[in-house]
Structure 1
Amino acid sequence: MRRSFAFSVLLAAATLAAVPVQAQSLLEYVGQCVPFARAASGIQIYGDAWTWWAQADGRYQRGQKPRIGAVLAFAKSARLPLGHVAVVSRIVEKRVLMVTHANWSRLNGARGHAEQDVTLFDVSPRGDWSQVKVWYRDTNGLGSSIYPAHGFIYGLPDPAAGKAVRPARPAAELSSRQPDYVGSLIDAYAR
């Protein structure tokens, strides 16, 4: 009896610890990029960010052109051993867009926070978004690192998919009402 009571208490504690605390707003989120991208984009893929591109094959449409609400899947690299996922919030011009994502910059000394309308610059030789630079809020500048990316997952069911996938619905808070387009262009092109 004593052992089953102790087990029940431990089970209840473990269950409560596994339930994530829900933020009032998408932008109040603090945590990893994957659950944030899933909530912000509506794309129902699970697992490490570097696995999203392959998991989307046969489920969601994929491509090399940005669309609002699409998820950019960063590849696994030395700097990103688990990859990264970010949701397109604005398309500024052919090689500059804004993303809303989590767990990138250090805000108030800590990673994990959500960031809205962050500049992303395509630096790939072919203009196919396979190599990007990302703005860092903690340094107020476009990073010097170049990150490899697979491409965009659009959230629309792949017509060749054998099973039904519901279209994804991006969150309403994906972009601000007045994003800084000019600042984004200056950040990208003023080296």
Structure 2
Amino acid sequence: MKFLTGALRRTFSPAPRKAGAKVVSGRLAQALSALLGTALALTALPASAHVLQCVPYAREQSGISIHGDARTWWKQAAGTYARGGEPEVGAVMAMAPSHDMPLGHVAVVSKVVDTRHVLLNHANWSRPGMIERGVLAEDVSDAGDWSEVRIWFAPIGALGSRHNPVYGFIYPEAPHAEAAPALELASADTASRVATATM
């Protein structure tokens, strides 16, 4: 900034009388051009320099290959990834949208501290694009079922006061095969015995 101030001062200083008005206008044009070039260089970003969002970070950290807004992850995971209500290391906490968080949020569990506390790795929470590792999340739901959490908020150096709704946890493995209901197993077994007896 000191350089720019000095350059502008030299540029706008009165020109020598013998140089005439053309020298002054030439200096002014150079100064404005330099100033504009500097401003553009400071504000222009390459197309790839976007603010890191929570979704690509969670996808990379967890290996869960889901795309789209965080609010869609819970439904998209159905049938492809195991889902549940208990935190596990490597699972993605899928937060539901709310007034303050219309696109939802996803974060990866890095450590289960106890039944009400986990550490998370996530991006774009405390500041745009900021990656945070090992930040505290607390289950504040009345039932202790992880349906509402408070999360560490760096600007205040403490857990945020907002209660954030949570769908649940998406685990990186495929869903477990659900056992067929006992009634279906019994009727299939009975049908098999009846078919064998009539042959």
What's the TM-score once normalised by structure 2's chain length? Answer: 0.64
Provide the rounded CA distance (Å) in 1 between the counterparts of 2:62 and 2:103.
Answer: 19
Q: TM-score, normalised by structure 1?
A: 0.66
Contact 1:63 1:152 survives alignment (8 Å) = yes
Aligned partners of 1:41 and 1:87 also within 8 Å: yes
The root-mean-square deviation of aligned C-alpha atoms, in Å, is 1.8
Matched residue type, 2:89:
I
Secondary structure, counterpart of 2:100 in structure 1: coil
- DSSP 3-state at the match of 1:149: strand
1:21-42 Cα distance to aligned partner (Å, 9 max, x none): 6xxxxxxx95100000000111
Identity %: 52
Does 1:59 pair with 2:74?
Answer: no
1:138 alignment partner, SS class? helix
Partner of 2:153: 136
Contact 1:38 1:45 in 2 (8 A): yes
User: Structure 2, unaligned stretches of length 5 or more?
Assistant: 1-45, 179-199
Greater strand percent: which structure? 1
1:71 matched to 2:88: no
Retained in 2: the 8 A contact 1:58–1:160? no
* Aligned residue number for residue 101 of structure 1: 122
- Output the CA distance in 2 between the equivalents of 1:80 and 1:158: 28
Structure 1 unmatched ranges of 5 or more: 1-15, 22-28, 162-191
TM-fit CA distance, 1:138? 1.4
If you compute each CA radius of gyration, which structure gives the higher value, 1 or 2? 2
| Distance in 1 (alpha carbons) for counterparts of 2:86 and 2:101 | 22
